[in-house]
Structure 1
Amino acid sequence: MLTHIDKQGNPTMVDVSAKQVTHRTATARSIVVLPDEVLQHLADGDLISKKGPVFQTAIIAGIMAAKKTGDLIPLCHPLGMDNCSVTVQVNEQQEIVIECTASITAKTGIEMEALVGASVAALTVYDMCKAMSHDIVIKETKLIAKTGGKRDFKRA
């Protein structure tokens, strides 16, 4: 059964009025691949561009985006998150790994907020680095884990 389609086949929000309020968390990850000409600007744990500190700006953008998810994704419930954090790190393959973790105590989950936060943080890295190279790839965005609601999920 599709949850965003009513009995007449029309789009609808999911009715969460009968659901239990539970503590819910979700973590999403986006990976950005940068070419060497961009990575050479890595200093003191951040990338420095003409627009400013890339990672710090991406963190702020990710949090702001997660807060706006209900405005961006049709049929998402507008949520007042309890918390949202974004981390940005460089892994062993010299990829930028962005993780967004959001939490709420509510009747509906918060996966979309985590996914939007990670995605917009990745897009912000692209935007801030594109003057150095357009050979930037946002490789993947995926849900890593969620708790609360009907079932928990953790990617292997």
Structure 2
Amino acid sequence: MSQLTHINSNGDANMVDVSAKADTVREARAEAFVNMNAETLALIMSGDHHKGDVFATARIAGIQAAKKTWDLIPLCHPLLLSKVEVNLQALPDDNAVRIESVCKLAGKTGVEMEALTAASVAALTIYDMCKAVQKDIVISQVRLLEKVGGKSGHFKVNS
């Protein structure tokens, strides 16, 4: 089993030194699901929500969050992302919204946390915008789908 990278030999949390690593193209995809009542999803899909376009707001929030991941998650490196994409898909048969994020850069460290943060914050934004009409919305299955690049190579969820 691999060792935890953010723990030094004394057992203290520390930021990993990536200065000796070569820049490589790195990309990560993550997803999250937001489950709600059919009426809440219909309100979002109709565009009649009193707070405005829920998907547009969630998309922007996810993009902003990816860019601020280093500010939100201790020990993450500040990254110059070259691409952040947040896609939202209504799933009426499941009374859910699927969020998929993609983050990319050429750099010394991966973008998994940025992709996960983008999907998570987009989901939280949907909750925030819809909590007035439904308080028991459930955010679930926030996970890394794929990552490419870097020393650890290619990872893809089997599903």
TM-score, structure 2 as length reference: 0.92
Deviation at 1:42, TM superposition (A): 4.0
- Residues 49-128 of structure 1: matches in 2 within 5 Å? 49-91=49-91, 92-128=93-129
Residue 38 in structure 1 maps to residue 40 in structure 2: yes
- Could you tell me which amino acid in structure 2 is paired with residue 71 of structure 1? D
Deviations 1:7-28 (A, max 9, x none): 2221111111121211000000
Which ranges of structure 1 fall in alignment gaps of 5 or more residues?
A: none
1:146–1:42 CA distance, 2 compared to 1 (3 A): same
When structure 1 is superposed on structure 2, of 58-67 and 28-37 the one drifting more is 28-37
Q: In the aligned structure 2, how far is the partner of 1:43 from the partner of 1:37?
A: 10
Equivalent position of 1:29 in the other structure: 31
The structure richer in helix per residue is 2
1:51–1:16 CA distance, 2 compared to 1 (3 A): same
Equivalent position of 1:154 in the other structure: 156
* Alpha-carbon contact 1:81-1:104 (below 8 Å) kept: yes
Deviation at 1:39, TM superposition (A): 1.8
Equivalent position of 1:141 in the other structure: 142
Q: In the aligned structure 2, how far is the partner of 1:30 from the partner of 1:40?
A: 19
Q: In the aligned structure 2, how far is the partner of 1:29 from the partner of 1:132?
A: 24
Q: In the aligned structure 1, how far is the partner of 2:71 from the partner of 2:43?
A: 35
1:25–1:142 CA distance, 2 compared to 1 (3 A): same
* Alpha-carbon contact 1:37-1:132 (below 8 Å) kept: no
Residue 17 in structure 1 maps to residue 19 in structure 2: yes
* Alpha-carbon contact 1:48-1:54 (below 8 Å) kept: no
Q: In the aligned structure 2, how far is the partner of 1:48 from the partner of 1:73?
A: 35
Percentage of pairs with the same residue:
51
- Could you tell me which amino acid in structure 1 is paired with residue 12 of structure 2? N
Deviation at 1:135, TM superposition (A): 2.0
* Alpha-carbon contact 1:58-1:122 (below 8 Å) kept: yes
- Could you tell me which amino acid in structure 1 is paired with residue 42 of structure 2? Q
Deviations 1:78-129 (A, max 9, x none): 1110110000001342310001100000010000000000000000000001
- Could you tell me which amino acid in structure 1 is paired with residue 30 of structure 2? A
Deviations 1:54-101 (A, max 9, x none): 001000000000000000000000111011000000134231000110
Q: In the aligned structure 1, how far is the partner of 2:48 from the partner of 2:59?
A: 14
CA RMSD, aligned part only?
Answer: 1.2
